[in-house]
């Protein structure tokens, strides 16, 4: 790659190759700019992604070893006091796919847009005590054209049907027909209809037919947490980086751990300093820098990058970097559909492997129920969605849980009979609840004063406090979802709503806004205080909405890139 400016190595240096960084790389390279992407993880290709439970889910293969690269998590103990523990000791893991393309390689590809209300929660729904609710500085209408652009570029499969909560769209339908659907999807439709609910067909960032130089989905039945071997999944590597590389103006440097960003006396970023695979410290200079390392690590990098104008960390004279960290609130539940109760034909149908469920409920994206006693405005509350899915087919995790019964270990023939029961007699239908994690002063990223990583850098210290209102919303939605499972005749219907964060669903930490005192970025996701620094992962979100973030991150990254082109 040849840089277009002899003063710098490239026009734009992007830190992080996932959902936030890759669309920017594609858009700018396509427009003729020279781009270098620094990614801390390895560069794996489709051929490396096998249906390997050990690799995906049971060993630190796509994530760093926690003893070498820990985080420190602050959680409340039973008395309510904050207690900090290193993940090297606790077993928590806040890493989410350190490889080219980032964690989007491993997503399930449930693709939902935000709804207009998500952009003006404070105005529409009012404040909640103890929460830092805020409006976005842009509207849904500002982002909609980019949501629309993402659909054909990434390859979103779906079918639009009349639905009461559908958000405004500029295209009549999705560019690819829906992925194949499991027989249970029709059962869910019927159950919802009987209950007066509106089952929503979920768009997937998975190609239902070959296109864009990628193969169609092969319906292996393993998707979430696994990399895609056909290229059908629209993760950042397949959807954005491959065409970015094809321009000849984009280069990716894997195994490049960015240690800090250097800034000059004017407050401009000049250099990204990184450690390569051999541990040698190297530098990249660029005219502009884009940070997209996922919420926790983006904040950590800025905090680890003080400069002449930024004694508290890059772009952090407001003290806002790391604040208002978000996760997806909610929880999950399940019920067991027993083969014996279904009859032979339906039991055989239920055993079908491969096709997707693709069903969700968004009837309560806004809760207007007098019976709901949440915090804040008494009439209307932000709700969320319920996503249905079959229990993941990973067998080892399930089997390992079978060894415990009432807190006691089970082994020998009792364990074997239990395994037969668990694996052969039913299939578990699950649901996941996605609702807003209210931003609060008790959820943020800082630098740990003692713990350092393998490169000697202070690690991120993550406080994970949640707002009690989140649990009320989650419980409300879980109760609705349980009704669907019961209507389906499922046995052992249960659910749990928790204030524990799902670390793979994170955002916030560098919220965008119009006031530099309360936000890190402006409406263009440029740092208020640093004219050549942009943040394009989910860090920019002041509120997270109630759906998985990836489509919104893609769309916003395209919007920011468009703005960078002027």
210-269 binders of another protein (CB under 8 A):
218, 220-222, 224-226, 229
Q: Say how far apart CA 274 and CA 257 lie, in whole Å.
A: 5
Nearer to another protein, 343 or 468 (CB): 468
Nearer to another protein, 173 or 218 (CB): 218
Long-range contacts of 187-195 (CB under 8 A, 24+ apart): 187/488, 188/357, 188/359, 188/388, 188/484, 188/488, 189/359, 191/484, 191/487, 191/488, 192/361, 192/484, 194/487, 195/483, 195/484, 195/487
Nearer to another protein, 207 or 357 (CB): 357
Q: Say how far apart CA 403 and CA 229 lie, in whole Å.
A: 33
Torsion of CA 540, 281, 268, 529, to 10 degrees: 30
CB of 543 to another protein, least distance (A): 19
CB of 10 to another protein, least distance (A): 24
Exactly one of 31, 44, 138, 166 binds another protein (CB under 8 A); that residue is 44
Touching another protein, residues 122-181 (CB under 8 A): none
Q: Say how far apart CA 343 and CA 337 lie, in whole Å.
A: 11
Instruction: Give the sheet arrangement for strand 458-464, strand by strand.
Output: 82-86, 72-76, 458-464, 443-452
Touching another protein, residues 13-42 (CB under 8 A): 42
CB of 320 to another protein, least distance (A): 27
CB of 231 to another protein, least distance (A): 13
* Token pair in block for residue 241: 């980086």
What's the Cα-to-Cα distance from 227 to each of 42, 100, 102, 165, 502, rounded to whole Å? Answer: 13, 11, 11, 32, 19
Buried b or exposed e, range 175-198, using 16+ CB within 10 angstroms: bbebbbbbebbebbbebbeebebb
Nearer to another protein, 16 or 474 (CB): 474
Nearer to another protein, 90 or 135 (CB): 90
Exactly one of 161, 491, 500, 565 binds another protein (CB under 8 A); that residue is 500
Nearer to another protein, 52 or 524 (CB): 52
CB-count burial class (<10 Å; 0-12, 13-18, 19+) for 7: exposed
CB of 424 to another protein, least distance (A): 5
Nearer to another protein, 202 or 303 (CB): 202
Q: Say how far apart CA 249 and CA 34 lie, in whole Å.
A: 5
Q: Say how far apart CA 315 and CA 317 lie, in whole Å.
A: 6
Nearer to another protein, 58 or 450 (CB): 58
Nearest to 274 by CA among 15, 9, 7, 533: 15
Bridge-partner residues for 437, per DSSP? none
Q: What is the DSSP string of 344-398?
A: HHHHHHHT--S-B--EEE-TTSEE--TT---SS-SS-EE-EEEEEEEPP--HHHH
- Cite the DSSP H helix spans in 91-182: 121-125, 140-150
Exactly one of 328, 446, 519, 556 binds another protein (CB under 8 A); that residue is 328
Nearer to another protein, 265 or 413 (CB): 413
Residue 495 makes contact with another protein by CB under 8 A: yes
Exactly one of 16, 20, 110, 272 binds another protein (CB under 8 A); that residue is 110
Exactly one of 55, 122, 211, 523 binds another protein (CB under 8 A); that residue is 55
Nearer to another protein, 402 or 451 (CB): 402
Collect all residues with Cβ–Cβ distance below 8 Å to 305 and sequence separation of at least 6. 260, 261, 262, 263, 313, 314
Touching another protein, residues 503-562 (CB under 8 A): 503-505, 548
Q: Say how far apart CA 519 and CA 510 lie, in whole Å.
A: 7
CB of 126 to another protein, least distance (A): 27
CB of 416 to another protein, least distance (A): 6
CB of 262 to another protein, least distance (A): 30
Residue 472 makes contact with another protein by CB under 8 A: no
CB of 548 to another protein, least distance (A): 5
Strand 443-452 relative to strand 458-464, pairing: antiparallel
Collect all residues with Cβ–Cβ distance below 8 Å to 64 and sequence separation of at least 6. 95, 98
Residue 325 makes contact with another protein by CB under 8 A: no
- Give the count of residues interacting with another protein (CB under 8 A): 85
Touching another protein, residues 406-445 (CB under 8 A): 407-409, 411-413, 415-416, 419-420, 423-424, 430, 432, 434
Residue 451 makes contact with another protein by CB under 8 A: no
CB of 560 to another protein, least distance (A): 24
Nearer to another protein, 374 or 499 (CB): 499
Residue 61 makes contact with another protein by CB under 8 A: yes
Q: Say how far apart CA 64 and CA 79 lie, in whole Å.
A: 32
Exactly one of 165, 317, 498, 518 binds another protein (CB under 8 A); that residue is 498
Nearest to 529 by CA among 311, 301, 257, 355: 311
Site string for another protein, 73-102 (x = CB under 8 A): --x-xx------x--xxxxxx---------
Touching another protein, residues 367-406 (CB under 8 A): 387, 389, 392-393, 395-397, 399-404
CB of 67 to another protein, least distance (A): 8
Nearer to another protein, 500 or 565 (CB): 500
Nearer to another protein, 166 or 419 (CB): 419
CB-count burial class (<10 Å; 0-12, 13-18, 19+) for 31: middle
Nearer to another protein, 156 or 286 (CB): 156
């Amino acid at each position: 790659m040849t840089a277009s400016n002899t003063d710098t190595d490239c026009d734009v240096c992007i830190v992080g190759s996932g959902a936030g960084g890759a669309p920017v790389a594609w858009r700018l390279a396509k427009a003729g700019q020279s781009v270098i992407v620094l990614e801390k993880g390895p560069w794996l290709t489709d051929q490396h992604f096998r249906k390997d439970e050990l690799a995906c889910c049971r060993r630190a293969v796509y994530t760093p070893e926690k003893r070498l690269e820990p985080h420190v998590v602050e959680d409340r103990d039973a008395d309510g006091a904050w207690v900090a523990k290193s993940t090297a000791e606790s077993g928590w893991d806040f890493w989410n796919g350190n490889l080219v393309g980032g964690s989007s390689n491993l997503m399930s590809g449930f693709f939902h847009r935000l709804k207009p209300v998500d952009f003006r929660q404070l105005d529409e729904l009012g404040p909640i005590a103890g929460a830092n609710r805020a409006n976005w500085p842009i509207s849904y209408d500002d982002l909609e054209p980019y949501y629309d652009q993402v659909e054909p570029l990434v390859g979103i499969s779906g079918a639009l049907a009349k639905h009461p909560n559908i958000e405004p769209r500029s295209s009549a339908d999705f560019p690819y027909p829906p992925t194949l659907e499991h027989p249970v999807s029709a059962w869910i439709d019927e159950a919802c209809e009987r209950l007066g609910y509106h089952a929503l067909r979920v768009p997937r960032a998975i190609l239902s037919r070959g296109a864009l130089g990628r193969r169609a989905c092969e319906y292996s039945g393993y998707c979430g947490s696994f990399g895609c071997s056909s290229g059908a999944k629209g993760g950042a590597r397949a959807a954005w980086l491959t065409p970015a590389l094809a321009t000849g103006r984009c280069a990716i440097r894997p195994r490049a751990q960015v240690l800090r960003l250097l800034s000059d006396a004017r407050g401009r970023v000049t250099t990204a300093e990184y450690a390569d695979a051999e541990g040698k410290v190297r530098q990249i200079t660029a005219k502009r820098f884009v940070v997209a390392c996922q919420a926790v690590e983006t904040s950590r990098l800025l905090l680890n990058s003080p400069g002449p104008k930024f004694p508290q960390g890059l772009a952090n004279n407001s003290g806002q970097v790391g604040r208002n960290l978000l996760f997806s609130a909610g929880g999950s539940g399940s019920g067991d559909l027993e083969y014996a109760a279904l009859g032979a034909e339906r039991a055989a149908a239920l055993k079908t492997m491969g096709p997707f469920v693709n069903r969700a409920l968004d009837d309560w994206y806004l809760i207007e129920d007098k019976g709901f006693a949440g915090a804040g405005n008494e009439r209307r509350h932000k709700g969320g969605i319920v996503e249905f899915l079959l229990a993941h087919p990973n067998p080892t995790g399930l089997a390992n849980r079978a060894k415990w019964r009432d807190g006691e270990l089970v082994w020998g023939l009792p364990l074997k009979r239990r395994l037969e029961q668990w694996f052969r007699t039913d299939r578990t239908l699950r649901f996941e609840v996605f609702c807003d994690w209210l931003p609060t002063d008790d959820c943020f990223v800082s630098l740990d004063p003692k713990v350092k990583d393998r490169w000697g850098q202070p690690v991120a210290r993550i406080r994970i406090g949640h707002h009690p209102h989140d649990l009320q919303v989650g419980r409300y939605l879980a109760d609705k979802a349980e009704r669907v499972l019961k209507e389906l005749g499922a046995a052992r219907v249960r659910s749990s709503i928790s204030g524990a964060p799902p670390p793979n669903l994170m955002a916030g930490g560098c919220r965008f806004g119009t006031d530099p005192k309360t936000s890190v970025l402006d409406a263009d996701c440029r740092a208020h205080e640093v004219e050549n620094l942009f943040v394009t992962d989910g860090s920019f979100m002041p509120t997270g909405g109630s759906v998985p973030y990836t489509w919104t991150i893609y769309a916003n990254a395209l919007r920011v890139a468009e703005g960078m082109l002027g």
